Amino acid sequence: MPLDDHTPDQTPGEARQFKVVGTRPLRPDGIDKVTGRARFGADMSAPGMLIGRVLRSPHAHARIRSIDTSKAEALSGVKAVVTRADFGPGDDDVADILDNCMAGEKALYDGHAIAAVAATSAAIARKALKLIDVDYEILPHVTDVDAAMKPDAPVLHEGLSDETVPEGVSQNVVHRVEFGHGDVEAGFAKADKVLERTFKTAATHQGYIEPHACLATMGADGIADLWVCTQGHYMVRNTCAAILGIDQGKLRVTASEIGGGFGGKTTVFLEPVALALSRKANRPVKMTMTREEVLRATGPTSSTSIDVKIGMNKDGKITAASADLRYQGGAYPGSPADMGSMTAFAPYDLENVKTVGWDVVTNRPKAAAYRAPGAPMAAFAVESVVDELAKGFGLDPLDVRLKNAAREGTKSSYGPTFPAIGLEATLQAAKDHPHWKAPLGPNQGRGVACGFWFNFGGDTCVSLNITPDGTVTLTEGNPDIGGSRASMSMMAAEELGIPYDQVRTVIADTGALGQNEVTDGSRVTFAVGLATIKAARNAKKVLCERAAMVWGIDPDAVEWVDGCARPAGDNAGKFPPMSLKEIAAIASNTGGPVAGHFEVNAEGAGVSFATHMVDTEVDPDTGAVKVVRYTVFQDAGKAVHPAYVEGQFQGGAVQGIGWALNEEYIYGEDGRLQNPGFLDYRIPVASDLPMIDTVILEIPNPGHPYGVRGVGETSIVPPLAAIANSVSEAAGVRMTSLPMSPPKVLAAIQAG
């Protein structure tokens, strides 16, 4: 049969007719989620379960002289207390993660875990925490990125800087990166105007509504089970096994339904602690974070300080561009300064470009990924300068972006040459949209900005099993964070030629499949979708073989059409088609169960671009900003379930609105977080917002059988800049610091 995994799937640009893909069926997990039945991280219990709680440092930076847990251990109902002494040295690869989960010699930020207790009730556990005596030597601290880079700044870790870091800066600078090509100085010399600006962005939090939660069971034999809300239970397994010194195969991790992640649930916090408590108490241990713990002690974004310099000619052509990007990533190395440096100028076709990124540690919780990590801040800085230059020359900001837009064949600012990409399509769609021509009211401004994200593939393993009655179970290993079960079922149904409701997609535990990369990098619809399609093709090959066996013809003379095996070539029409159901019914007599599998380290994710357009209104008396109209233009490659693609566009835009206008980690002089709650860390609410309009562009990704590109992350890249450009126009003054909160906007208006 002519089904070969290596045959070209689809000519790029060729319009393929889909039956299921592109429709909007109801999601298969929907009823559970609207009736309260769906089980999230904190919704699971076990017989004999204890409750675990964490004692956290009240100091931003302190040496831990001693910890006395004896009084807590003596409290009735307390079954285990753990400190760092209960963990072995662990692998080097996870040393920082372990130190973040349970402090070693020093507490490095307000909220850093110092000890943990498991007790028969939450009340007893809380009481026990108060009985733990910690002797701290308080050390000077630093939370601001520019301050942390100064040679005399308090140092978090001695000797951590690598060879990329030049002399003369603090040891808090742990890594420096550089990207680009051409000669920027020569390029600036040719420009009609060179503009340089400095920008600041505050740290923000992913703000998922579900706090971290897990339920751990571990015995003295090292056999362990973990139920956890996470974006990647294979990552949790591997990391916890390394921290606890057990084999990966001994720990089975089951992902609960996940109440939001956005990158914040791509590492571990409670999980190794819960396992250690369970091992010590020999009982199941459940741990959940409070909202205060989530904000103080999980993984917010970097705060940044960025210089951007761009040279432009009167016709809008950019002659050279450079940026210096300083990202503090909290108490351990790994801020996304590298990603910021790579993405900053990615939307542009530039002859001369250079970016330098600085990874800086400070006394804050270690940054985790947040939706296109590192990119929104860089885009804010770059797109603000592009906008100011364009307006200074009296040019249309969309025309200027079109003039300089990266396209197929452009050597990107971070190295690779782009294949077919959709940036120009989003810009043209923006230019043609009624929003662009709509009149503005008093005190209103309109801003546009572009954004880029790489997208990712990675390790993926799926299993597609056909039941005896001919329905299909697709087993995959990525938590469904926003409707991916629906997309997978749709792609399986499309490929098999059967109705959507004949496929059930199940998220397996770590014991059921091989390694699966975390649900991150906008990878799931692309990579798991690709694996699903390939697994379905493998299953179809077996189905055709079974039909060939029944008909007594060569399997190569059978083709799969519309959910049925059909004799092809010379045999065409000689036998009636056999449906999937009919073949499944006789599977036991033709060789056994029918399944298709596919394992891959998926490549070809296909980069993604978006253009956002926003109208804001600024109250000149208070500085308050209202978003009055918002339109997202983004390339999806192929939208599998358009409603959920729109949802990703809308959600990313609104998170960007929060980042631009409200959200901010505020540290006091004492280095303590001043706003660890949803009242003071204010994410957008329904009454803040208009509807978020979306335009889906479909420029097929040549790396996916159906042309799919990831869509989840790119949508948060342009909004910071688009809103800043809009507010700057409305307020009549250039805004260079986020969030653009009312006091800041008012001060800028009054100063301007």
3-class SS at 163? Answer: coil
206 binds another protein (CB under 8 A): yes
Q: Round to whole Å and give the CA distance between 153 and 175.
A: 17
- SS3 of 238, please? helix
Nearest to 33 by CA among 502, 503, 486, 472: 486
Which residue's structure tokens are 């290993």? 477
Number of residues that bind another protein (CB under 8 A): 59
How many beta carbons lie within 10 A of that of residue 343, not counting itself?
A: 31
Residue 747 makes contact with another protein by CB under 8 A: no
Q: Which is nearer to another protein, 418 or 644 (CB)?
A: 644
Instruction: Write the interaction track for another protein spanning residues 207-246; mark x where CB under 8 A is met and - where it is not.
Output: xxxxx-----------------------------------
Q: Give the CA angle between residues 702, 704, 709 to the nearest 5°.
A: 85
Residue 379 contacts residue 215 (beta carbons within 8 Å) = no
Query: Is residue 290 a contact residue for another protein (CB under 8 A)?
Result: yes
Site for another protein in 122-151 (CB under 8 A): 123
Instruction: Kindly state whether residue 257 participates in binding another protein, applying the rule CB under 8 A.
Output: yes
Strands (DSSP E) found in 454-520: 458-466, 472-476, 503-507
Stretch that binds another protein, among 285-293, 347-355, 532-540, 555-563 (CB under 8 A): 285-293
For position 447 contacting another protein by CB under 8 A, the verdict is no
How far is Cα 324 from Cα 308, in angstroms, rounded to an integer?
A: 7
Q: Is 655 in the site for another protein (CB under 8 A)?
A: yes
Relative to beta strand 458-466, strand 564-567 is unpaired
Largest separation between any pair of C-alpha atoms in the chain: 86
Contact segment (CB under 8 A) with another protein among 20-28, 75-83, 150-158, 489-497 equals: 20-28
Choices 5-13, 40-48, 310-318, 557-565; region in contact with another protein by CB under 8 A: 40-48
Q: Does 168 bind another protein (CB under 8 A)?
A: no
**24 near another protein (CB under 8 A):** yes
Q: Which is nearer to another protein, 641 or 709 (CB)?
A: 641
**Containing H/E element for 294?**
helix 291-297
How many whole angstroms separate alpha carbon 485 and alpha carbon 507? 8
> Which of the stretches 27-35, 54-62, 336-344, 560-568 binds another protein when contact is defined by CB under 8 A?
27-35
Among 40, 393, 436, 575, binds another protein (CB under 8 A): 40
Of 68-76, 194-202, 549-557, 688-696, which part binds another protein (CB under 8 A)?
Answer: 688-696
Short-list 679, 658, 675, 657, CA closest to 666: 675
Among 580, 683, 708, 748, binds another protein (CB under 8 A): 683
Dihedral pair phi/psi, residue 386, rounded to 5°: -55, -45
**Which of 7, 17, 76, 687 lies at the binding interface for another protein (CB under 8 A)?**
687
Contact residue for another protein among 187, 333, 637, 651 (CB under 8 A): 651
Site membership for another protein, residue 653 (CB under 8 A) = yes
Is 539 a binding residue for another protein by CB under 8 A? The answer is no
Question: Considering only residues 4, 441, 691, 751, which one is a binding residue for another protein as defined by CB under 8 A?
Answer: 691
Residue 24: both structure tokens together: 């909007």
Candidates 6-14, 21-29, 193-201, 729-737; binding stretch for another protein (CB under 8 A): 21-29
Write the DSSP symbol of residue 452. E
Cis peptide before 365 (omega within 30 of 0): no
At 687 the three-state DSSP class reads helix
Residue 288 beta carbon to another protein: minimum distance, rounded to whole angstroms: 8
Q: Which residues contact 460 (CB under 8 A, 6 or more apart)?
A: 477, 478, 516, 517, 527, 528, 530, 531, 598, 599, 600, 601, 602
Our CB check for another protein shows the closer of 142 and 683 to be 683
Enumerate residues 6+ apart whose C-beta is below 8 A from 643.
Answer: 24
Candidates 127-135, 242-250, 531-539, 671-679: pick the segment binding another protein (CB under 8 A).
671-679
Q: What is the secondary structure of 538-588 as a DSSP string?
A: HHHHHHHHHHHHHHTS-GGGEEEETTEEEE-GGGTTSS--EEHHHHHHTGG
Minimum CB distance to another protein, residue 349 (Å): 32
Residues 6 or more apart from 595 whose CB is under 8 A from it? 463, 464, 465, 466, 539, 542
Among 2, 11, 33, 501, binds another protein (CB under 8 A): 33
Q: Which of 1, 29, 445, 449 binds another protein (CB under 8 A)?
A: 29
If binding is defined by CB under 8 A, does position 689 make contact with another protein? yes
Nearest to 363 by CA among 62, 92, 116: 62
**Interface residue with another protein, options 260, 555, 604, 620 (CB under 8 A):** 260
- List residues near another protein by CB under 8 A: 24, 26-27, 29-40, 42-43, 123, 206-211, 257-262, 288, 290-291, 481-483, 641, 643-644, 646-648, 650-651, 653-655, 677-679, 683-689, 691-692
